[in-house]
Structure 1
Amino acid sequence: MRAAARWTHAHLRANRAAAVLIVLATAGITISLLLATTLFAYAADPWQRVFTQSSGAHVWIHTQAGAPAGSLAELDEVRAASGPFRTVRSTASRQLGGSKAALELRGTPHRPATAAPQITEGRWLDPDTDADAVNGIVLDASVARALWVKPGDSLALSGFPSPLRVVGVADTAEAAFRAGETPGVAWVLPAALDASHAGPDQRGRTIGLRLADQQDTDYVVQRAVTRLGADQITDVSTWRQAKAEAGSDNQLLGRLLGLFGLGALLAAALAVGGAISTRVRGHLRDISVLKAIGFTPGQVVRMFLALHLGFALLGVALGVVLTQALGTLVPGRIGEAMALWHQLPEHTWLPYAISGGVVAFIGSATCLAAWRAGRVPPVPVARAAVAAGRRLATTRRALGLRLPPALVLGWRGAFHRPLRGLAAVGRLTVPLLLITIALGAWSTLDRFSSHPEDVGLPAALTARSDSLGERELRQRLTDRPEVTAYPGVEVQALVPGQTGTITLRGLGTDARPYPFSLVEGRAAHGPDEAIAGQGLLDLLDARVGDWVRMTVAGRPHVLHIVGRSIEPSDGGRVISTALDTLRDTDPALHADFYHLVLRPGADPAEVRDALTRASDGRVEIREIPNPADQLSAVRAVTAGLITVLVLIGLAELSTTVSAGVRERGRDLLALKAIGLTPRQVSAVIVSATVFIALAAAITGTVLGGSASGWLIDLQGRTSGWGTGLAQPPGLGVLLLVGALAVVAAAAASVLPAARAARRRPADSAGDVL
């Protein structure tokens, strides 16, 4: 033990800089993984973010107006309560347009502390600063989107003598508004409820309960029913239901970020493993000396394990402490994400899991390297000398071809040991591959933004009106030359043998067919022809060319699927045909809306405002949502992950350079013996690193481009949108990635190569003998 301790102490004193770099590298990888996990939780689970920021309620209980709902706050399992609020059920509609939505109006004199709505637009109701606050209303964001309203708009509510003005839009962790299923939530002052003419059957109370243990949800609901009586409770909703509904809207983002996170973890793991293996190979001579003076293989293994596990533990601890202490001070999204991360339930155990995973991997990599160190023979000098002689003869034959010496010797230095060279290429390939995949996701998002007509979104606007006839509405829309209007109608259809419903859409006419984004088959031209989304084909186990039968209000429709389109709405469970085809079955059918396809270069917002002014507000126009808007967070997180991957790649380059310098240091006498100048020796080291980077760049970009398209199309198919979404990075972008990797490799190796080339022959003798 004393000899091992002395060797460890001497090793640390002789290699202080290397030890510090290993600790800092481990700390940097730990920080990167913790920050990546934090950003994943921040961006991929918006429901959890809102729930945490608002101190959301785990249970919402809706009761009759006379029920003592406030007594539920006294339950032992309840930590805090929101309300109880007096409520009124009403139907809201815009004064301009025909959008309607069921609302649950809650009367509150101030913004609640528990389950506090998070204002995203406008402000909260404040009677102290706004004399007209009694006529104001704050809407949940989901119902605001359904009604097409924003702060400043007016809503007409059934049972209220005058319209209410929208003063704010807020995010909540409650179940989102769903037409015909879940009413939207809105907040007003109590005086506004007093002015309502709603009957007793439309009035009630609502209370939100925040529990000490979220797993007690079902038990608390049972106790509430027991205390109030089943006849007094009209509805119950829980955090599990709200999270499940919200999660279905963010699967694409979550999967994408999860993929990048796992890839970054793999790249970091390979980088650390390569650094440790290189470090052990650099001490083969020391290991031989230790065995020569009596150390057993087991003692050597234990010394390396203890040394590198100590580095790992110190680096992980440093990374965790820095992240926890300084993470919230970072400006921008990272600091905000860290502040939220400290409040999430996962924060209690996930940092330990990540730290344990890093230590476990480094420990496993160290075990393998230490086991190899234990097998090093005490006197490996003769075998190394023979091998060097054979390599020198091969190099001389290659130089006889009159190729530049730096290239020949650089190639030999990179791949004269194929397994070791391929391992270095593979470790550097992983971050480059992931960077290429990330760029593929970025270019696909750009495709959604710049060419939505290629991904199932040819129309930018949709228009409807309850006050204008179909002919007059069509005339007003087609007055503008940059607009092409396509009449449409959507109905819910039942498919035989299915308990759910699908969307049957009539869009366009036989004379003017709608420009669907077809990726398979052909457009629908004749009667009874239709195109379908991938989700519908999967649901019916059908394919292009099949006939399908469905029922709408008792009327059967038999359609021939002649093509498949990219369909981003309703999970792809949509079948579309011409409006004329639906009118053959129901002649009284009229267009419910118009999809407006704009001329290239036209601004949707300007066209919308112009059409609204021209119709004196009698036409309701809204922009069709683009999925890229929901995935805007991917850009920021992707940029951060690319930065992490670049750092991991630079760390791997540093390992490759150090290994190359060590190898070339041993061959320095041979290189100078065949006539190479110090500048040429330096060029050999640089070219060896460049060859490895070039091989990794070619492999990473080629595989990354293919993998990017495959992964995005796989996600499109499983989400029901269908394949054909992916937009691979441009050739120029791939060439730029490869060029930057090569330039970074050359830059990282120039200075170490120059130092190695300046070493005197006497300094290198020990490395060769």
Structure 2
Amino acid sequence: MSALGRVVRSGVGRRRVQTVVIGLVVMIAVASAVLGGSLLVASNEPFDRAFAQQRGAHLTAQFDAGAATEAQLAASAHVAGVAAAAGPFPTAVINPVDNHDRPFPPATVVGRAEPGGAVDAVTLVEGRWATGPGELVIAGGDRPVGGMRLLGRQWRMPDLPGSPALTIVGVARSVSVTADGWVVPEQIAALTGSGAAGGYQMLYRLAAADSAAQVEAGRAAVQAALPAGALTAARSWLTTRAESANNTALLVPFLVAFGVLGVVMAVLIVGNVIAGAVGTGTRRIGILKALGFTPNQVVRAYLAQALVPALAGAALGVVAGNALTVPLLAETNRIYGTSDSGVAPWVDLAVVAGALALVAATAWAAASRAGRLRTVDALAVGRTPTPGRGQAAARLSARIPLPRPVTLGLAHPFARPLRSATIVAAIAFGAAAVTFSVGLGASLNRVQATENHGDIVIHPNHQISAPPPGAAPGAEPGPGAEPGPPPAIDPAAVVAAITAADGTAGYSGFAQTEVTAAGLTGSVEALAFTGDKSSYGYQMVDGAWFGGPGEIVVSTPFLTAIGAGIGDTVVLTDHGKQITVRIVGEVFNTENDGLQLLTAAETLAAAEPELQAMEYNVVLRPGTDPVAYAEALGAVLSPLGAQATVVETGTDELLIIINSLTTLLTLLLLIVAALGVLNMVVLETRERVHDLGVHKALGMSPRQTIAMVIASVVVTGLAGGVVGMPLGVLLQRLVLGDMGRISGFNLPAAIIDVYHPAELVLFGLGGLFIAVLGSLLPAGWAARTSTAAALRTE
């Protein structure tokens, strides 16, 4: 081994703390960057990966069975520009109801013998594929719908001859969203009403489909190859892709924020470690130069001492980052039907290369100073700071009415101001990460809370069919009676029962209807409210809640779509009648992608005099048991044809992912900050080991020694917390603003302003906690060092 190699090996082995700190910091930084980078890639491309794996359809086309034959449709697979095709599949539109005659929205059902194929390989999530008549595979995810499992349930079609029924035998997912359900092809005939025109579906993969123009060219080519009027509808994959991008795009802002924090902290701490190694090894540098080492060799030696543990840390960081990525991306795989591990080799290589480049750059900047030192100067310099540094701070701290060991420690950071400033910055980023993480989690929880508009929900009892004519109210149908629609409930009786119940704080009743608004194509959903708690759960962005007829409250996408603002008037058309309303408030409401308007029931009474509340949300007084309340009120409502249910609040899966990531990444950044403090205190203790021996000889006890070492980080910890706390608040606001911008919503102050003054004080003191945590090990080492050993060290 060469002399330079022996110096590197000796330095790595002798400076164990610095070696371990560099390795751990690089490992955590690389793990965080790999995790963030992999998730960033996954959040930008989950649909594209699923689309490629499942050979999704670039063009989903619907044809009139009376205008084109199966042979003609099959021949369209060979049209210029079509790379592959599947079909023709027979289709039908059904209007299903469940066993209690609860209607479902109209559904497009496709006759398909198997889920695979050259185009749109449907992924089974649960159950099996339909193999015979009477079986249905429904499109959806792997979560219960409305709290109910889908498998085994029946859909009936009472509007079709013979009232055919379909039993759900499987749940599947099509990345191209080509159907609401699938049956065997021979089932379609029974699902097509008499006199109704049948249809066929063709799925095409195009040779070029990266732009809307290319997809349109493919559609035009297919349409031209078939009889006129055969093509009735077509859907581009770009439309489906755009609709799927919003949720995953929300991950990007906070992943970028954590990535920047982690990189900056790693640079600061690695640079501080190398600078400290050079500072404490100044005399050794002089000896090396006296033995004939050139300045270039000295720089290479210290550069290698940083890169050796950095290489080990980077390798471990890649493994750890990928290991963390796999389970976190499992949710994305469930949502999109992919089977990816989430490991992106190019991300691993880019992160490792970037980390080693940063380590090399920071190490070279510190080591180059060592190479420029003259041999005589290096040999003449000891470990302790230059005389005079920090003397003013020491004199001032001596006047503080605290024990002398504590005041000695308080003055230590001022002897090495540049090093202390670096650690203050690292602690500040750690405190900012904690502040940001807690604030982001609280804000996202408040976003989810806006979906809850009461503690109890009251709705018609769908399990009770309408009694036969002439029967007493609440009478059960006789044996063999045909099931009928659920009975209409009496709003006045329901309201009287709600207001009379013990524990009621208020209620809101609402009915849903469809209206059109000037400036918008198609209809929009309107909720017509009654009661004194209609605004419960909604958060206002600007303006006020509606106070009476003729006033509406809408969200940001609605205002953006019609180009209006608060105070403007809008003309609604409801059942042929025009109603002029005024926008009095902007509310945070994500229902129907923000295209839902909220108003008083009296606003729509002229057009729909029969419009009455079909459901009620009840707000309970604090301390009321919701289960007991629902049982007691349910007994009163049952004869009225209504039932009371406790509102179950759960956490959205996307929020669970974000909260898990923020907790994990914050923990990693805290560890990095604590390691930086650990290294600084080790350097300080080693530089002052001779002074420590003098203090011990003069009677300083081990407890006083620990107090002095811990006190040496109090100033840097407090300064870091004071700087980091507002930085975290600012970061929370920036990230939330980006999330709102991506989703198209303005966020109300109630969601953004989540910090209480007491919490901000605690976050500011969080820097002190990080500093004390990082100083405990070196404080114990200093306390155990014997007086003789400390005095012999120079």
**TM > 0.5:** yes
- Aligned 8 A contact 1:153 1:166 in 2: yes
In structure 2, relative to structure 1, the CA distance for the partners of 1:208 and 1:767 (3 Å cut) is farther
In structure 2, relative to structure 1, the CA distance for the partners of 1:349 and 1:218 (3 Å cut) is farther
In structure 2, relative to structure 1, the CA distance for the partners of 1:501 and 1:474 (3 Å cut) is farther
1:195 to 190, 194, 197: 190
Cα distance in 2 between the residues matched to 1:532 and 1:217: 32
Match for residue 8 of structure 1? 8
Cα distance in 2 between the residues matched to 1:281 and 1:382: 10
- Aligned 8 A contact 1:712 1:725 in 2: no
TM superposition shift of 1:412: 1.0
**SS of the counterpart of 2:672?**
helix
What letter corresponds to residue 87 of structure 1 in structure 2? P
TM superposition shift of 1:429: 1.9
Match for residue 278 of structure 1? 276
Aligned-pair identity (%) = 22
Cα distance in 1 between the residues matched to 2:424 and 2:176: 50
What letter corresponds to residue 362 of structure 2 in structure 1? A
Is structure 2 residue 691 aligned with structure 1 residue 689? Answer: no
Alignment map for 1:449-464 (pairs within 5 Å): 452=449, 457-458=453-454, 461=457, 463=459
Cα distance in 2 between the residues matched to 1:94 and 1:758: 78
Cα distance in 2 between the residues matched to 1:358 and 1:342: 29
- Aligned 8 A contact 1:567 1:721 in 2: no
Alignment map for 1:152-167 (pairs within 5 Å): 152-157=152-157, 161=162, 162-167=164-169
Match for residue 659 of structure 1? 683
What letter corresponds to residue 652 of structure 1 in structure 2? G
TM superposition shift of 1:527: 4.1
Cα distance in 2 between the residues matched to 1:745 and 1:147: 49
Alignment map for 1:644-655 (pairs within 5 Å): 644-655=668-679
Is structure 2 residue 299 aligned with structure 1 residue 304? Answer: no
2:172 to 170, 173, 182: 170
Is structure 2 residue 779 aligned with structure 1 residue 753? Answer: yes
**SS of the counterpart of 1:351?**
helix
- Aligned 8 A contact 1:608 1:621 in 2: no
Match for residue 139 of structure 1? 138
- Aligned 8 A contact 1:443 1:727 in 2: no
Cα distance in 1 between the residues matched to 2:759 and 2:640: 48
Deviations 1:707-726 (A, max 9, x none): 43564366447632531213
Cα distance in 2 between the residues matched to 1:167 and 1:612: 38
Which consecutive residues of structure 1, in runs of 5 or more, have no partner in the other structure? 128-132, 176-182
Alignment map for 1:517-532 (pairs within 5 Å): 517-518=539-540, 520-532=542-554
Deviations 1:12-34 (A, max 9, x none): 45446754653454234323332
Query: Aligned pair count?
Result: 742
Match for residue 490 of structure 2? 472
Match for residue 346 of structure 2? 349
**SS of the counterpart of 1:488?**
strand
1:722 to 725, 747, 750: 747
Is structure 2 residue 597 aligned with structure 1 residue 597? Answer: no
Alignment map for 1:342-381 (pairs within 5 Å): 343=340, 347-378=344-375, 379=377, 381=380
Cα distance in 1 between the residues matched to 2:589 and 2:560: 13
- Aligned 8 A contact 1:150 1:169 in 2: no
What letter corresponds to residue 112 of structure 2 in structure 1? T
What letter corresponds to residue 651 of structure 1 in structure 2? L
Which consecutive residues of structure 2, in runs of 5 or more, have no partner in the other structure? 64-68, 463-483
Q: 716-725 vs 727-736, which deviates more?
A: 727-736
TM superposition shift of 1:186: 0.8
In structure 2, relative to structure 1, the CA distance for the partners of 1:699 and 1:490 (3 Å cut) is farther
Q: 404-413 vs 570-579, which deviates more?
A: 570-579
In structure 2, relative to structure 1, the CA distance for the partners of 1:582 and 1:404 (3 Å cut) is same
- Aligned 8 A contact 1:535 1:721 in 2: no
Match for residue 178 of structure 1? none
TM superposition shift of 1:427: 0.4
What letter corresponds to residue 87 of structure 2 in structure 1? P
Is structure 2 residue 485 aligned with structure 1 residue 487? Answer: no
TM superposition shift of 1:463: 4.9
Is structure 2 residue 435 aligned with structure 1 residue 436? Answer: yes
TM superposition shift of 1:220: 8.9
**SS of the counterpart of 1:410?**
helix
1:90 to 74, 80, 93: 93
What letter corresponds to residue 318 of structure 2 in structure 1? V
- Aligned 8 A contact 1:448 1:626 in 2: no
1:583 to 597, 605, 608: 605
What letter corresponds to residue 427 of structure 2 in structure 1? L
Give the TM-score normalised by the residue count of structure 2: 0.76
TM superposition shift of 1:57: 1.9
- Aligned 8 A contact 1:341 1:347 in 2: no
Cα distance in 2 between the residues matched to 1:604 and 1:228: 62
- Aligned 8 A contact 1:88 1:104 in 2: yes
Deviations 1:343-367 (A, max 9, x none): 3798252222222222232233223
Deviations 1:44-89 (A, max 9, x none): 876467557x6352535436461466678899999997x5362313
In structure 2, relative to structure 1, the CA distance for the partners of 1:75 and 1:348 (3 Å cut) is farther
Task: Kindly report the root-mean-square deviation, in angstroms, between the aligned alpha carbons of the 2 structures.
Answer: 5.0
What letter corresponds to residue 569 of structure 1 in structure 2? E
- Aligned 8 A contact 1:99 1:146 in 2: no
Is structure 2 residue 241 aligned with structure 1 residue 248? Answer: no
- Aligned 8 A contact 1:679 1:757 in 2: yes
Match for residue 480 of structure 2? none
In structure 2, relative to structure 1, the CA distance for the partners of 1:607 and 1:414 (3 Å cut) is farther
TM superposition shift of 1:619: 9.4
**SS of the counterpart of 1:681?**
helix
Deviations 1:158-215 (A, max 9, x none): 657412233343333224xxxxxxx74211233423533357843214346599x986
Cα distance in 1 between the residues matched to 2:346 and 2:787: 55
Cα distance in 2 between the residues matched to 1:338 and 1:662: 51
In structure 2, relative to structure 1, the CA distance for the partners of 1:215 and 1:345 (3 Å cut) is farther
- Aligned 8 A contact 2:254 2:735 in 1: no
What letter corresponds to residue 320 of structure 1 in structure 2? V
Deviations 1:293-319 (A, max 9, x none): 555544443443454345434432443
Cα distance in 2 between the residues matched to 1:629 and 1:299: 55
Match for residue 112 of structure 2? 108
Cα distance in 1 between the residues matched to 2:358 and 2:632: 57
2:590 to 568, 581, 586: 568
Cα distance in 2 between the residues matched to 1:74 and 1:766: 90
Alignment map for 1:266-415 (pairs within 5 Å): 266-293=264-291, 295-320=293-318, 333=328, 343=340, 347-378=344-375, 379=377, 381=380, 387-388=386-387, 391=390, 395=394, 398-399=397-398, 401-415=400-414
What letter corresponds to residue 754 of structure 2 in structure 1? P
Alignment map for 1:693-712 (pairs within 5 Å): 693-701=717-725, 703-705=727-729, 707-708=731-732, 711-712=735-736
Cα distance in 2 between the residues matched to 1:220 and 1:570: 27
